[in-house]
Amino acid sequence: MSTFPQTRLRRLRRTGALRDLVRETRLDRRDLVMPFFVGPDTRANEGLPALGRYSVADLPREVEAVAAAGIPGVILFGIPDAKDEEGSGAWDADGVIQQALRELRERFPELLLLTDVCLCEYTSHGHCGVVDEHGVLNDESLELIARTAVSHADAGADAVCPSDMMDGRVAAIRSALDDGGHESLPIVSYAAKYASAFYGPFREAAESAPSFGDRRGYQMDPGNVREALRECELDVAEGADVLMVKPALPNLDVIRAVRDRFDLPVAAYNVSGEYAMVKAAAARGWLDERQAALESLTAIRRAGADLIVTYWARELAPSL
């Protein structure tokens, strides 16, 4: 192997054109998905514009801008006007997500409509399943989660994305979708979803903070990576079509491990806290938001993610 001075790695860094030519990882807007919050009314979020929410009537205008920028898909989160113990708004045929799906399906036949499937935005206690005095009940929650997924499929979703972290939910959803005539609808499983502090701004936006306890009894411990692979293995066996890791930046090694072990497409969720940190620092003039965002997303792709859910999708798309 030749070495310095014959070998000089700086040769290929000399100009922008050379650097572009040999770049190993590229960002493409076709790999990005933009999240949207749909609620009973429209509320802007000054500091974190992508975490504002829209009424069903106002949503299409925003989605139009995202579609026009070349983003292939959106993922929808619902905020109902009323919550109950079971989270029945989640599978209501006239729920906020179901209405939004029908509206968007009609107006944007080509756009990919993904939906987050969970109960936490719809339950009065804010947990991702039904609860009793002992905590969140796994098996009792499965049927409600599966029912929610089918209602999204019926309303026009292109893929459902279960994020509750109950054991067995992918199998329950797959079987309910198949029984409901949706055997072609893919499941994008939040397979390795960690109990993370980086969800903070999302919980505010989605009004889904638990009213008691926390989610560590079902979401993963941030210290674990082998367990993430077991989660993925089970989801693959249960019929998941895409595996997601969430959050992305604190878990780049997990994304890499999942990429190396499985041949399914890997998704990563660049979560609200990752977006908020950069926004806040940029607002103080401490870093350049655009460069920091591009670097973050590039790192997530380099770690092995095929697609990224990110609040920057809309802003960055025109330059990707």
Name the active-site residue from 125, 193, 215, 301. 193
CB 26 → Zn ion: shortest distance, Å?
33
The answer to whether residue 267 forms part of the interface with Zn ion (CB under 5 A) is: no
Token output for 42? 């429209």
120 near Zn ion, judged by CB under 5 A = yes
The one segment of 126-134, 135-143, 272-280, 291-299 that binds Zn ion by CB under 5 A: 126-134
83 labelled catalytic = no
Strand, coil or helix: what is 141?
Answer: helix
What DSSP element (H or E) covers 306?
none
206 or 317: whose CB is closer to Zn ion? 206
| 219 versus 270: smaller Cβ distance to Zn ion | 219
Task: In angstroms, give the least distance from the CB of 164 to Zn ion.
Answer: 5
From the CB of 152, what's the least distance to Zn ion, in Å? 15
**Strand pairing report for 307-310 and 266-270:** parallel
Token output for 218:
């079902």
**Which are the contacts of 132, defined by CB distance < 8 A and separation ≥ 6?**
none
CB 194 within 8 A of CB 251: yes
Q: H or E stretch including 228?
A: helix 226-238
- Pairwise CA distance, residues 215 & 271, whole Å: 16
Q: Which stretch binds Zn ion (CB under 5 A): 51-59, 124-132, 189-197, 278-286?
A: 124-132
Please tell me which residue in 246, 279, 301, 314 is annotated as part of the active site: 246
Q: Name residue 68's amino acid.
A: A
Binding flag, residue 271, Zn ion (CB under 5 A): no
- Are 252 and 195 contacting, i.e. CB atoms less than 8 angstroms apart? no
279 is catalytic: no
Q: Which of residues 202-261 bind Zn ion (CB under 5 A)?
A: none
Beta partners for 114? 75, 159
Q: Is 128 in the site for Zn ion (CB under 5 A)?
A: yes
Footprint of Zn ion (CB under 5 A)? 118, 120, 128
Catalytically active residues, by annotation: 193, 246
